[in-house]
Structure 1
Amino acid sequence: MAGPGPGRWWLQSAQRGYDHTRFADVAGAAGLAVSTLQFYFESRDDMLFEALHEWTEHEVRTLEEISVPESSPWDNLVLLVDRALRPVQETADRVLMEFWHASLRDDRLREHGLRLNERYRQPFRAIIRRGVQEGHFHVPSAGADDAIENLTTMVLGLCKDS
């Protein structure tokens, strides 16, 4: 996207909740004209997609940066879990939960959410696979993918689409 990144503005202005947040709320928090946002985003959902994408990429970059290649996979996994379990800003948490709720009735939101969820799980997957390869972690006979899925589902509190 070439325009203004709405992630932090969306979360700051989402006091009304996802279903009731308007372009005007986000524009006010960003100090922009509504028309500027509408130039870059055709719909409120497009703006939410970008905001969630921006937030997810920031979190993934942070998870990737706190992993230290010289450290053991176990130490790295502890860092990732600590980061994932930290308290999240109440507004951000509410927007994310409302997004998941809305995605239950909207296929486009659901597909986007599943892609974001997959991206967020990647740093966990990389550390666990490394730990298995180096013999630090032992996984059930079902394999590393099931262990990764179970751990990230518990940590993130999100269920895999079955």
Structure 2
Amino acid sequence: MFATESLIAEHGFDGLRLRDVAKKAGVSIGMIQHYFETRDELVYGTLSDASWRRAAEFVALADGLQDPTARVAALLRGSIANRARCQEWVETCASSTRHADMMMPMIERTYDAWRTALRDAINNGIETGAFEPKLPLEQVVDTLMVMIDGLMVAVALQLYEFDEPYVVRLIEETAGPLLSYDFQPTHGSPANPRG
């Protein structure tokens, strides 16, 4: 399935061909068809698997961290740190506009996991007094979720040479004022690559 997932990120849902998957995976087309009757079934299985994995990976970013500020920082930074994962997410979202019945449950599952982990970490920070949000909790979470999505697109497309230090700075400098907290950048303070 990893071969299929990387090819989906590279060619898109509709551009995926079984022969490319077979070649990349080092198996025959017949072997793939033994497990998946159609190309769409393979794509659906791959993206469904990926959505569960993405959700689990996001939640795991904060595993073992007790300090709510460290948990929020880990969730924010980790969400945009991997270009391949960002590309897969962008393709999953793009595919949902053409295949909503198949894709939307996966997207909703991933969003629910992200929102819950982020909301719980922020709420814990509010309860301990580490955060004093300027907006209602749900609005803060929504703002950060939308920003994560936008930054995932920028990272996936490598717009304006968006690199990890810069996108981390952007998300921390947005989250900080929303939560009345000064996130300390872990990668220094890189200059804006656009200017």
| TM-score of the superposed pair, with normalisation by structure 1 | 0.72
Pairing of 1:100-111 with structure 2 (within 5 A)? 100-108=93-101, 109-111=103-105
Cα distance in 2, alignment partners of residues 70 and 84 from structure 1: 16
Q: Does 1:85 align with 2:80?
A: yes
The alpha-carbon deviation at position 105 of structure 1 amounts to 3.1
User: Aligned-pair distance for 1:74?
Assistant: 0.8
SS at match of 2:14: helix
**CA shift for structure 1 position 95:** 4.3
TM superposition shift of 1:78? 0.9
| Separation in 1, partners of 2:111, 2:65 | 27
2:124 is aligned to 130
The verdict on how the C-alpha distance between 1:64 and 1:29 changes in structure 2, with shifts beyond 3 A counting, is same
Q: Which residue of 1 aligns with 2:150?
A: 157
The answer for unaligned runs of 5 or more in structure 1 is 1-5
Superposition RMSD in Å: 2.7
Give, in angstroms, the shift of residue 26 of structure 1: 1.6
Question: CA-to-partner distance for each residue in 1:59-112, whole Å, 9 max, x for gaps?
Answer: 3333333325453111111111111121412xx544432332231233312343
Percent identical pairs in the alignment equals 21
Gaps of 5+ in 2: 152-195
Q: Which residue of 1 aligns with 2:137?
A: 144
Alignment match of 2:40 (pick from 39, 42, 45): 45
Give the 5 Å matches for 1:52-71: 52-71=47-66
Task: Give CA deviations for 1:2-57 in whole Å, capped at 9, x if unaligned.
Answer: xxxx1x21133344332111122222222233233233334333322332333333
Give yes or no for the alignment of 1:26 onto 2:21. Answer: yes
